[in-house]
A and B are shown apart, each in its own frame.
Chain A
């Protein structure tokens, strides 16, 4: 029942209308009961009065002659009036006649006592005068009203009115039910049923219910149709947009996937968030290897250079700038180094976008150009520029105090001019190549060999503090160079070398001084007979050795 009330407009409105109608009906029934009871009482009084006036003459005669029979007849006549329950005719204090209604049904006061104002004590006393002397009172007629009868009369009247009202309430309620059912619920039910099965995408629309075209329900249907249509339109637009977007996305995806440039995203800590295949190829990473490994690939590959990477990231974020720098990486797979250019630009939320390009080729071109500049074209060892760069580098190292001492060997070939003059430049060049190979093979790999020009060579024996060792090397060079050099089957030449040796400790040094001293020592050797070595300017070496001992 409650569920019906909640879910059905018809039941609810009927219930409410019925309830209101019942309440109003009961109210008016009570009101009408009250008034009809009163008027009924009044009518009863009037009827009684009328009865009395009918019998007045007879009563007066009966009382005049004190005729009991006549009086009794009269009382019996009166008692036939339903409104009267008891008649007494009293003459001079004596009861002349009396009549009582044999009231079979005793009143049921339960339902009736609550009803208002039936005057129970309203005994009617009528005085009767002599028929011949209107001043002489001959008797009194005492009448008791029949309360039960009056009550019953008024109750039945009130009940009738009440039934009418209730009937009216029922009729109204059913009318409301009918109206609500036909004019509201049915159209709404139809609409809602249609809505259930509506397929708006195929252009379905709600149809207007008959007879409701112009009222609120029609308006509702039109509004729903408009709403559905606009929703559908929006949906289609949305769909078209989504397709366009997907196509665009696909394009970018293709670019992303197929680009030769590595594209990636990384966070503040340098961890990779996303990357394209080119990125993986560039760093020889396997997509199937663990995600944490890939995430940390950048920092692990740039081991030793991660400080620069973090600096880039910091600056990119703090200054919102696009940062670019070159890094070299040592790939595990191949032995060769790879140079990459990293461009990092800040995106939103502490995420950075990065591009990485392989610049190994460019780098190596640059390097070989540099190498070319410092290389002696004939012998392939360093030229004067190379030496100057090396010595200034060493001078900086020594100035910074993180170096050890080294020996400088100034070598000048003996009898080279004669070879050149007698056998030609080609043979001279061959001799120079031979000599540079000889020296390069004699010294350690870490040592430095350069041709300053002509037949002048220089060798730096680095990280060496033992004079004996230096002298040993110098001697070895002299010995090896004095051996005959076979140019071809017929020709063999012989040359020699004069070597001046200078030394510097781990302290600061002046390159020109070192050169000059070595040069001077070398010329001394030349003057004193060639093909020997001389160590000059041992003060510095001595001082260093002393300091080492002390």
Chain B
């Protein structure tokens, strides 16, 4: 019975989030020199493990402020954690004084602006907001 309940929960969750995640993609500047990133590479960049891109420049991952619904969806998709967990994670690293969380911006539009103008910047947006200023480098659906 319990097993069945778990299964149902999982199936419903997966179908919902699949749909939710499906519309978030990771983008970079078209001149960044990056074609594609694996999920692990995205995680490493966003969770502060890697600070440099494959091209050797310091990466500048962009995060949304907590008010954006996309943020929670992004981290759920990426590392399967909720925002308090992510906050707690960064809190520890900040305490040690070594790590710092990604730069936070207010809106998806700002993300598009910065990525479009900065070769080192990467960010996540809803798929439908993709435009020519940016380049898709990680699509979770693929």
Q: Which residues of A contact B (CB under 8 A)?
A: 58, 61-62, 64-70, 73, 131-133
Given contacts A65-B99, A132-B79, contact A70 B89 (CB under 8 A): no
Q: In whole angstroms, how far apart are the Cα atoms of A58 and B96 in the complex?
A: 11
Asked whether A67 lies within 8 Å of B89 as measured between CB atoms, the reply is no
Q: What residues on A are CB-neighbors of B80 within 8 Å?
A: 132
The one of B40, B49, B79, B98 in contact with A69, judged by C-beta atoms closer than 8 angstroms, is B98
Asked whether B98 lies within 8 Å of A67 as measured between CB atoms, the reply is yes
Q: In whole angstroms, how far apart are the Cα atoms of A62 and B95 in the complex?
A: 11
27 A-B pairs whose Cβ atoms sit less than 8 Å apart in the complex: A58-B92, A61-B93, A62-B92, A62-B96, A64-B49, A65-B47, A65-B48, A65-B93, A65-B98, A65-B99, A66-B49, A67-B93, A67-B96, A67-B98, A67-B99, A68-B98, A69-B96, A69-B97, A70-B92, A70-B96, A70-B98, A131-B79, A131-B89, A132-B43, A132-B47, A132-B81, A133-B40
Closest residue of chain B to A131, judged by CB? B89
Q: What residues on A are CB-neighbors of B89 within 8 Å?
A: 61, 131
Q: What residues on A are CB-neighbors of B47 within 8 Å?
A: 64-65, 132
Q: Interface of chain A, helix or strand or loop or mixed?
A: helix
Q: In whole angstroms, how far apart are the Cα atoms of A504 and B80 in the complex?
A: 188
A-B pairs under 8 A by CB, number: 37
Q: In whole angstroms, how far apart are the Cα atoms of A64 and B79 in the complex?
A: 13
B6 CB to nearest chain A CB (Å): 18
Asked whether A70 lies within 8 Å of B49 as measured between CB atoms, the reply is no
Q: In whole angstroms, how far apart are the Cα atoms of A62 and B93 in the complex?
A: 8
Closest residue of chain B to A138, judged by CB? B49
The one of A58, A65, A73 in contact with B49, judged by C-beta atoms closer than 8 angstroms, is A65
B139 CB to nearest chain A CB (Å): 19
Q: What residues on B are CB-neighbors of A68 within 8 Å?
A: 98
Return the 6 tightest CB-CB contacts between A and B, nearest first.
A69-B96, A70-B96, A132-B79, A67-B98, A65-B49, A67-B96
Q: In whole angstroms, how far apart are the Cα atoms of A69 and B96 in the complex?
A: 5
Q: In whole angstroms, how far apart are the Cα atoms of A58 and B93 in the complex?
A: 9
B50 CB to nearest chain A CB (Å): 9
Q: In whole angstroms, how far apart are the Cα atoms of A479 and B133 in the complex?
A: 230
Q: In whole angstroms, how far apart are the Cα atoms of A67 and B97 in the complex?
A: 9
Q: What residues on B are CB-neighbors of A61 within 8 Å?
A: 89, 92-93
Q: In whole angstroms, how far apart are the Cα atoms of A131 and B46 in the complex?
A: 13
Q: What residues on B are CB-neighbors of A132 within 8 Å?
A: 43, 47, 79-81
Q: In whole angstroms, how far apart are the Cα atoms of A64 and B93 in the complex?
A: 11
Q: In whole angstroms, how far apart are the Cα atoms of A131 and B85 in the complex?
A: 11
Q: In whole angstroms, how far apart are the Cα atoms of A68 and B95 in the complex?
A: 12
